[in-house]
Structure 1
Amino acid sequence: MTLHAPPPPLSGRDPANLRGDAITGDRYFSSEFAQREWDMLWTRIWHIAGRTAEMPEPGDYVVHNFMKESVICIRQEDGSVRAFYNSCAHRGMRMVGQSSSADMIACPYHGWRYGLDGVLVHAQDPEDFPQGNPCGKLKLRELRCDTWGGFVWYTMAEQGPSLAEYLAPMPDVYRNYPMDTAVRVAWYRIALNANWKFVTDNFSESYHTRTAHPQVPPWIDQDVDTARHEMWPSGHGRTVQPMRPSLSDRLPEHLPHPYKMILQAWGIDPDSYASYEDLAMQGWLDLKAAKRRLWKERGYVHYEHMNDEELTDSPHTVIFPNVTISFLPDNLVFFRSEPHPDDPGKCYFDLWCMAFPVEGQETVESIMAGPRPLKEATECEHRDFDAGRGIPELAGQIVYQDMELAEGMQAGLHSKGYQDAYLSAQETRVRFFHEVLNDWLEGRRP
């Protein structure tokens, strides 16, 4: 992708950037609304099928099942990736069930086999077809496919924006992160009793943090006037938060402070500051300088092109409509919600914790899933949230706390007592997300 200077964002704190479309409860449980989303949104946007790290060699493929559709993305001999519907050209049989590697794709029903390019190379009794031998003539139906950020993307739309156009300006904004080098150390897909939009709503604001995530303010400053809220007309947006202690929410002095440990890890004495304010504000500046000075000798090669903000801060980014990535100095945390194929009151929530490799480091703190070995997770953990019982190892983590709120939010949106959200300025991006979604559903977007 050709990179350019990103356009300036809209303010994500200014309600003047909104039309004022109501966020009604039926959006979260109506089957008719969900059908409009399928017709006008999901069949037109770009989806992530998997990580390029899953498919390093020709013949490696990833399978992405979305609602009742299934897509295969296959590494070609020339190194490119092509995408095909997971449906045999003979009678529609779904051919593969999970990501793997093969010289060709074989249908388990009648044995038809397709090359990596999707062309049929073998059919039983090829001379028995009145229409003529199908080999070399029939092929799997292909979709547009591309890569960015170490992710494999595809779209069901035969025409429309390229991936670069769809993602803009995110590739420019995050050009300094070597995203394709990140190692996925934790990989979950969690069934959740909430509509998929709860996840995007939740990640479009940090107003809930003080209540839902009391462990965050000691190391990420999410005070109302501190974070920077940005959004673009495409629907993408982010909240940029300094990774330093909040001056409003302070830990009791007798408790170990996580920020002090971060400073100490980079050779900074936290007891050298005259006040808590100095510890937070000057320590933050000193941490930038220490990382800038020491990154190379400590093996933090991913810091090479990062600017001062990227070295110490947390831009929490939503890529419209359903992908969120937390860009941390040493981690990428990927969140995605996808609708249940039959019940709009349910969704699947994906959590991928990724870490940038550091020389000599064998274990990493994955932020959302705790300490993990610094190696690629080999398979996805499929779980039911089940009020938290399905993922006990994530209890107390930020993402676990978010999921705890999901079912209550879904239930409340059914109430006649709810008519529209009453939003603070820092929640502007929540309504903006729904307005962009309305644009897609009403045919005002490609």
Structure 2
Amino acid sequence: MATAVDNRPRDIIKVAAENYTSAEFARREKEHLWPKVWQVACREEQIPNTGDYIVYDIADDTIIVTRARDGGIKAFFNVCPHRGRRIMEGCGHAVNFRCGYHNWTFGLDGKNVAVQDREDWVGTLDSENLNLVEVRTGTWGGFVFINMDPDCESLETFLGVIPEYLDPFELGNMRFRWSLELSIDCNWKVALEAFMEAYHVAATHAQLLDTQGEDRTSSFAHGKHAHFGYWGAEYFIGEPSPRLKKQRPKDVRPGVVDFFRQMEETFGAIFTDRDYEAAKQIMEHIPADADPMTAFGAAIEFGRQAAIADGCGYPEGLTYEALAKAGTGWHIFPNCQTLPYFDGAVWYRARPDGDNPDKCIFNIWSLKRYAPGKEPNVEHEKHTDLTGKSFGLIVDQDVANMKEVQKGLKSRGFAYARPNPLQEVAIANFHRTLEQYVLGQARSGS
């Protein structure tokens, strides 16, 4: 694997501001992107029982995802074939799906089971297809994907190398720790891109630099998808970033513990509360002169022991080699980003909010391993007005950038975005792929 200081040829990529601000570009996304791609609708744990359902809205389309009677998962366009009314809202449990306008009713398999006053049609409805229109579904990593294109490629083909790199994390064995849905005044791509690279950490999350070690990354494209990581780092968790030009501590243990503390107290994602408590043990059991990798490795081992003691299990296939191969963060085209770890992960999902290119719906899901039956009853918080609200220091810092970026993209003084050719390959690759869907080809220079 290449390092953070590799000498790959680096193309300068230009991303047009119109990709984020143009109503026409958003319209073309609705036509050529969202109906054609696999996208995450929910987690399997959100619909565990027969009849459980959740409504997934994307642009102008609304889709019911449900647990069928055979235990499988089905999805349908959430629209009544009678007069076009949206049938279901939010999430919940249903024996069937009934349209509140005229009582037309559909089974969990999408088949029409009742038409109010059907005799009024005098048999002419018999030749009509009155069932809900089915949408393709697939599952991976505990996530439910949908695709509105009946002729789409398989989910396996779409994901490409993702399972090879991320299956060792056993995302399917994690459950919600907390869940946020935020309405943000920016384009969906601006929100997602805030997490597709770590180049922003030094400026946006400067409080982390004292203990996170190397903060300079490299990144790589894998077809539609991409990842970044700290390959080739010479400074490690527990040490200050080399850009601070501070002396490396002789005892890194307090730095390791403080790193986990900050992540737990200001974010509560990727790493877990169990990781933080386990890391504290290195102060007693690891010598003060231990090197950074020994200290951090011991924190991982104490975390493993704690997870097993709690009945949560541990990802045995996630060797240090597999962890290094996977890197730190993955962009899963088009609209998801994840940063996984041994005991937890964070998952981001961004969607357009209607037709407005200046607004999006942004989900942040913190996932964690729990013993069977010990999963918390998580409230899926939704916030349409963020005024005066805080979601933890790290989330607040990231969200603060988004609105300012959207404003700046419209300035006459802004020509185009210039992604870092080493650390922001994921963003350049994202727009090349996006433009191929939306425009039919990548723009010149992107």
Q: Report what 2:320 is aligned to.
A: 308
Question: By how many angstroms is 1:307 displaced?
Answer: 1.0
- State whether structure 2 residue 363 is matched by structure 1 residue 350: yes
Give deviations 1:117-138, integer Å, cap 9, x for gaps. Answer: 1111111122221453559952
Query: For 1:346, what is the secondary structure of its paired residue?
Result: strand
- State whether structure 2 residue 306 is matched by structure 1 residue 273: no
Change (3 A) 1:184 1:138: same
Q: Report what 1:283 is aligned to.
A: 295
When the two structures are superposed, what TM-score results if normalisation uses the length of structure 1? 0.82
Question: By how many angstroms is 1:152 displaced?
Answer: 1.2
* Alignment equivalent of 1:399, drawn from 390, 395, 398: 395
Change (3 A) 1:411 1:124: same
Query: For 1:176, what is the secondary structure of its paired residue?
Result: helix
Give deviations 1:188-231, integer Å, cap 9, x for gaps. Answer: 1111111111123222221110111123334543432xx45232
When the two structures are superposed, what TM-score results if normalisation uses the length of structure 2? 0.82
- The letter of the residue matching 1:272 is P
Q: Report what 2:265 is aligned to.
A: none
- State whether structure 2 residue 214 is matched by structure 1 residue 234: no
Give distance in 2, aligned partners of 1:14 and 1:78: 54
Q: Report what 1:211 is aligned to.
A: 203
Question: By how many angstroms is 1:185 displaced?
Answer: 2.3
* Partners of 2:239 and 2:252 within 8 A in 1: no
Q: Report what 2:23 is aligned to.
A: 31
* Alignment equivalent of 1:321, drawn from 334, 342, 347: 334
Give deviations 1:161-187, integer Å, cap 9, x for gaps. Answer: 111111121122111222223221212
* Partners of 2:226 and 2:332 within 8 A in 1: yes
- State whether structure 2 residue 377 is matched by structure 1 residue 376: yes
* Partners of 1:72 and 1:84 within 8 A in 2: yes
Change (3 A) 1:264 1:349: closer
Change (3 A) 1:338 1:359: closer
Q: Report what 1:441 is aligned to.
A: 438
Change (3 A) 1:251 1:12: closer
Query: For 1:197, what is the secondary structure of its paired residue?
Result: helix
Change (3 A) 1:136 1:120: farther
Question: By how many angstroms is 1:289 displaced?
Answer: 5.4
Pairwise CA RMSD of aligned residues?
3.4
- State whether structure 2 residue 87 is matched by structure 1 residue 95: yes
- The letter of the residue matching 2:412 is K
Give deviations 1:229-264, integer Å, cap 9, x for gaps. Answer: 232122333435787134424699899945136574
* Alignment equivalent of 1:111, drawn from 99, 103, 119: 103
Q: Report what 1:170 is aligned to.
A: 162
Structure 1 unmatched ranges of 5 or more: 1-7, 363-373
Q: Report what 1:366 is aligned to.
A: none
- The letter of the residue matching 1:384 is D
Q: Report what 1:421 is aligned to.
A: 417
- The letter of the residue matching 2:354 is P
Give distance in 1, aligned partners of 2:302 and 2:51: 45
Q: Report what 2:63 is aligned to.
A: 71
Across the two proteins, how many residue pairs are aligned to each other? 415
Question: By how many angstroms is 1:376 displaced?
Answer: 3.3
Give deviations 1:35-70, integer Å, cap 9, x for gaps. Answer: 111111111111222111111111111111112211
* Alignment equivalent of 1:158, drawn from 133, 147, 150: 150
Change (3 A) 1:163 1:72: same
Give distance in 1, aligned partners of 2:82 and 2:5: 50
* Partners of 1:57 and 1:75 within 8 A in 2: yes
Question: By how many angstroms is 1:94 displaced?
Answer: 0.6
The range that moved more, 349-358 or 138-147, is 349-358
* Alignment equivalent of 1:200, drawn from 165, 179, 192: 192
Q: Report what 1:431 is aligned to.
A: 428
Change (3 A) 1:359 1:244: farther
- The letter of the residue matching 1:283 is A
Query: For 1:143, what is the secondary structure of its paired residue?
Result: strand
* Alignment equivalent of 1:408, drawn from 404, 408, 411: 404
The range that moved more, 304-313 or 29-38, is 304-313
- State whether structure 2 residue 238 is matched by structure 1 residue 245: yes
- State whether structure 2 residue 43 is matched by structure 1 residue 51: yes
Give distance in 2, aligned partners of 1:15 and 1:429: 15
- The letter of the residue matching 2:219 is H
